Structure formats: C-alpha cells, structure tokens
Amino acid sequence: MNSTGEPDQVRLARVFLTRVIEPGDEVGGRWVREWGAVAVVRGLSGDGEALPGVSAKRWEGLRARAGRAEPERDLEAAAAAGVRFVCPGDVEWPGTLDDLGDARPLGLWVRGLPSLRMWALRSVAVVGARACTEYGAHMAATLAAGLAERGWVVVSGGAYGVDGAAHRGALGAGGATVAVLACGVDRPYPSGHTGLINRIAEQGLVVGELPPGEHPTPSRFILRNRVIAALTRGTVVVEAAYRSGSLVTARAAQRLGRHTMGVPGPATSGLSAGVHELLRGEEAALVTDASEVVELVGDMGELAPERRGPVLPRDLLEPGARRVLAALPGRRAAEAAEIAREAGTAPDDAIARLYELRALGYVERHGDGWKLTRQAMVSVRGGRHPGRPSEFGRPGDD
C-alpha cells in the first residue's frame, strides 16, 4: 500500500500477473526480474511485440488471460475473505523464497493473522502419501506434535493422508501450522478438509500462489511443492511411493540446500519405497522422532537424546564380577576352579566375586559348587523358555 492506503502499481501488477502467469513459470519470472512487473503487465496488455522466450501461440494465450485479469476486484474479494496479498519487498515476505530464483512466487495470498516471514524462520515441512497407512498417519501426527511442542511451525499441503495428519498433530499439541494450497486460499481443497483448513486459518496460516477462486490442477500441485520446500528449514517425508509428489518436495529441498529427511517404514511397504530410495541414495537423513529432526534443522546444541537399550542389572556390575557371572553354567552347579577357568581369572578372585554375587542375589552355594539363583535366571531371561540359554549361561551348559 502507498501512503493513501491504495495499492501501489507494483503490487497491483503482481496481483494482475497471478491471474496470467502459472506458478513456477521461470520465463515469466525472468521477465519480472529484468523489466519489472509493471512493464510486463503493459506488454501483455498492449499491442506490442511478444516478450522473448515464448512462442506466438503461448503469447496469445497469455494475452487472452491478461484480458480477463481484474486485480482490483481480486484484492476486494481477498479482503472480504480475510485474505491479504504478500509480495517481495513486503516486511512479511519470507526471504527464503528468493532462493527459488526466477521460479519464486510472484506473491502469496495469505489467510490468517501471524506473520508468514516470522513463522517461516523456524519451520519444518512434513509431507507424504495421500493414501497413507495407519503407521504413516501416526508417525506424521506424532512428529508434528513433537515439533510443535518444541516451538517449531509445521508446514504441509493440506491434503488427505500424511498432510492432514501432520496439521492435526500440530494443532492438537496447541502448536503452529501452515497449509500451502495449490488453489485459491478462499476455496479450501480438498473439500473434505474444509473444516481442517478453516481451523488452520483460525489458528495458523493458509497460503497459496493463486488468486481467489482459482482451482487446483495436477501441475499446480507439483509446483506448489517447491514453495513448501523453500519456505522451510527442512522437509521430512513420512511415506511416499516411487512416483509420489512428496519426493518432488524432498528433492526440491535438497536442491535448495535445505535438510531432507525420511521416516523409514516396513521393507515390504510400497508406500515407503520412495522414502527408502531417498535414504539408500543418501539423499535424505533417517529420522524417527521430532528430537532427531530438530537436531538437524535446529540451532547448535539442540541434540537428540542418546539412544540405547534398557539397562540390565548385570550392566551395573564391575567387569570382573560380570565375567565370573557369565562363566556360570546355565542349569547346573560348578566348582570355583571351573568358574575361574571359564572366566579367565584366579580361583581366589573367582571365589571373592562369587561371594559378592551371592550378596547381590545372583548366585547361591550348593556344597562345593555355585549356581545361578532362580530369581536371577528369571529376571535375565525375561520370561523366555527355561530351556533356552540366558545371557548368564552358555548354549549347551545343561
């Protein structure tokens, strides 16, 4: 807006061009970069020569679209729907989108109160299959909730499946989420997600490149993915088949120098095949929860907890005592000399260790021999069949 509150010419020209030039059109983007949006609008609206880089047929198509463009009316319709137009040069414009070069959006239609630029600074994309499995939906919702609880904005595409699960996970955790649509933000798509997208608009942001009333097409879905990738600090793919559009998002993120991550699934699942291919080709980092995502995209020191198995009672013993304990047969008593030989230590040391282990409840004395206690064998075997070897004994020690 200018000082009188009216749209300035550049903004109006960019609104005009969102009706004419398809998202991601690098030729149109180059025109705007080289001559400016106002000059491009004049060229499309006048009777002069075609701008370079397009055929005569395509130029006529663009001019036909330009003849129907009404930017003032689009801005009025947007305002009535609670939508604003954000373009390069605005305070709210996310600078990360400039990494797209000539393919960057001409502007974004934004529905919701928060600042898009501020939210983009600490955001992660969570994307995946529309026809996802229960596992995929669970992982997407859990990841999104964990990210939201850590103060991260979850960005996705508002679609069925993984996208919807990610948005719901973030909202359920009381966090922030952004839906990037491939249509006008005043007409939620898919229609089955109207309630969800309206809720996102109330608690977060709904954004898109297309002006009010525009419908989605297959190509617009694909091109929308580059905005998701550029807007965020990293992209997590939860489930994706070989031809999934989510892989387009992941590879766009990789080209832009963003972190690319994948959640593994069952080796037999076709819906995880695309993710596994990313991981096998080292195009993505393997992640399993929000803390691992944040370790990659977050600030220095935001580390995931160390992973390790459960601590067993024997882990707390000193090494010498563990060796003696491991030397006891699984199902019979043994004399100290035999135990010492198996443990690789002196008999006196073995006897001292055995008395220590008896005091801790691991072994008991039977005449001249020593045997594992029943309590020790049950606690170590964790309910396994008593005929199978435990971590204390050795196969064949019956």
Query: Who's near 341: CB < 8 A, 6+ residues apart?
Result: none
Tell me what pLDDT residue 317 has. Answer: 82
Query: Of the candidates 201, 157, 160, 211, which has an alpha carbon nearest to the alpha carbon of residue 179?
Result: 157
Tell me what pLDDT residue 6 has. Answer: 46
Lookup: tokens for 376: 């020790």
Q: Is the pTM of this model over 0.85?
A: no
CA–CA distance, 372 with 324 (Å, rounded to integer): 11
Do 235 and 259 meet the contact criterion of CB atoms below 8 Å apart? yes
CA–CA distance, 131 with 147 (Å, rounded to integer): 23
- What's the start-to-end Cα distance of the chain, in Å? 87
Tell me what pLDDT residue 305 has. Answer: 60
3 state SS of 180: strand
Tell me what pLDDT residue 3 has. Answer: 40
CATH class of 95-297: alpha beta
Number of Cβ atoms within 10 Å of the Cβ of 164: 24
CA–CA distance, 72 with 79 (Å, rounded to integer): 11
User: Tens place of pLDDT for every residue, the chain, 398 residues?
Assistant: 544 344 689 999 999 999 999 999 999 999 999 999 999 999 999 877 889 999 999 999 999 999 999 999 999 999 999 999 999 999 999 999 999 999 999 999 999 999 999 999 999 999 999 999 999 999 999 999 999 999 999 999 999 999 999 999 999 999 999 999 999 999 999 999 999 999 999 999 999 999 999 999 999 999 999 999 999 999 999 999 998 889 999 999 999 999 999 999 999 999 999 999 999 998 899 999 999 999 999 874 455 566 666 666 676 788 888 899 888 887 888 998 999 999 999 989 988 989 888 888 888 988 889 988 876 666 544 434 333 344 444 433 43
Q: In a 10 Å sphere around its CB, with 0-12 CB exposed, 13-18 middle and 19+ buried, how is residue 260 labelled? A: buried
Query: Of the candidates 26, 24, 25, which has an alpha carbon nearest to the alpha carbon of residue 225?
Result: 24
Domains in the chain: boundaries: 9-69, 95-297, 313-381
| Fold equal for 95-297 and 313-381 | no
CA–CA distance, 219 with 367 (Å, rounded to integer): 83
Instruction: Answer whether CATH 1.10.10.10 is correct for domain 313-381.
Output: yes
Number of Cβ atoms within 10 Å of the Cβ of 322: 18
Lookup: tokens for 275: 């993710």
Number of Cβ atoms within 10 Å of the Cβ of 288: 15
Tell me what pLDDT residue 398 has. Answer: 36
